[in-house]
Amino acid sequence: MDLSALSAKVYELLTVYGLKVVAAIVIFVVGRWVAKAVTNFIKKMMIRAKTDGTLVKFVGSLCYIVLLAFVIIAALNQLGIQTTSFIAILGAAGLAIGLALQGSLGNFAAGVLMIIFKPIKVGDFIEGAGVAGTVEEIQIFTTQLKTPDNKTVIIPNAKLTGDNIINYTMKGTRRVDIVFGISYGDDIDQARQTIEEVIGADERLLKDPQPVVLVSELADSSVNLTLRAWTSADDYWGFYFDTMEKVKKQFDAQGISIPFPQQDVHLYEHKQ
């Protein structure tokens, strides 16, 4: 092949494939810029809607990866590379990965729903999946709780949302129910007044709703008085334990007895 023929061949190749390469590069560069712009727009809209930061980052990364994949496929198509089989392979691989990570995908979906609808938030004291504790962190796949005895419990999100969640903090206030038993010989009005004086001196007591002390049961060994008072969710346990102790001391000081179960045993002598 002479030099002129070789030059013509090279020119032909550059004319045909050079333009395709340039077009592919342009598609990739412009497509990448568009993918970043769309991703930033989506993230700004989510931030404006006060979406959780963890979800904003995850959705942003996912959108960028998906858009960039389309850009790469478009660039390969421009080069004349058949992408049909490539897409089929990616689809099969995605299906296999989805089946292998079925449990993780369920946790991911539950995590997204928790972040969007916010049935719980960091700092809430909740009970769910058989565990009670304070929410320390809500992640895409798991939720981390700290129990009252300072244990860390990591719960898969699907397990947490698959059953009832009791949120003790969401409403801001809680009702304290305490049962006090007095003997049948004690004065009910005196015992009620004693309980009301004890809780009335506690600044943690909320005046609305108004606290009440009611006779709730005539039991086998005692007359049971039930206190129903309201406090903030943070003061619940402190108010509960302090009230139990103070009422017991006041009952002792006023001669009001707290009976305990007793049993009489009668012995009969049988003469032979």
Same domain, 181 and 244: yes
Q: How many of the other CB atoms lie within 10 Å of CB of 199?
A: 21
Residue 127 belongs to domain spanning: 120-167
- 125, 168 Cβ separation under 8 angstroms: yes
Same domain, 80 and 143: no
Alpha helices in the chain (DSSP H): 3-13, 19-48, 53-78, 84-100, 102-117, 157-161, 188-200, 236-254
Same domain, 67 and 138: no
- 73: in domain: yes
Count of domains forming the chain? 3
- 226, 164 Cβ separation under 8 angstroms: no
- 130: in domain: yes
Rounded to two decimals, what is the model's pTM? 0.65
- 111: in domain: no
- 260: in domain: no
pLDDT of the residue at 164: 92
**In the structure encoding, which two tokens stand for residue 266, read together?**
């009668």
Q: How many of the other CB atoms lie within 10 Å of CB of 85?
A: 8
Same domain, 193 and 136: no
Q: Which CATH number goes with the domain that contains 76?
A: 1.10.287.1260
- 151: in domain: yes
Q: Which CATH number goes with the domain that contains 244?
A: 3.30.70.100
Distance, in Å, from the CA atom of 135 to the CA atom of 129, rounded to the nearest integer, reads 13
β pairing state of 223-232 and 212-218? antiparallel
Q: Which CATH number goes with the domain that contains 137?
A: 2.30.30.60
Distance, in Å, from the CA atom of 113 to the CA atom of 143, rounded to the nearest integer, reads 13
Give which of 189, 179, 185, 181 is closest to 219, Cα–Cα.
Answer: 181
- 110: in domain: no
Q: What is the DSSP letter of 233?
A: G
pLDDT of the residue at 181: 94
Same domain, 62 and 40: yes
Distance, in Å, from the CA atom of 140 to the CA atom of 127, rounded to the nearest integer, reads 19
- 270: in domain: no
**In the structure encoding, which two tokens stand for residue 170, read together?**
């969401």
Same domain, 131 and 81: no
CA triple 129-133-137, angle to 5 deg: 90
Q: Mind listing the pLDDT tens digit of every residue in the chain (272 residues)?
A: 555 665 666 555 556 566 777 777 888 888 889 889 988 888 888 788 776 676 677 777 778 888 888 888 887 787 776 666 666 666 766 666 555 555 677 888 888 888 778 899 889 999 999 999 999 988 878 899 999 999 999 999 999 998 899 999 999 999 999 999 999 999 999 999 999 999 999 999 999 999 999 999 999 889 999 999 999 999 999 999 999 999 999 999 999 998 877 666 777 777 66
Same domain, 159 and 185: no
Sheet holding 152-156, edge to edge: 152-156, 142-146, 131-138, 125-128, 166-167
- 225: in domain: yes
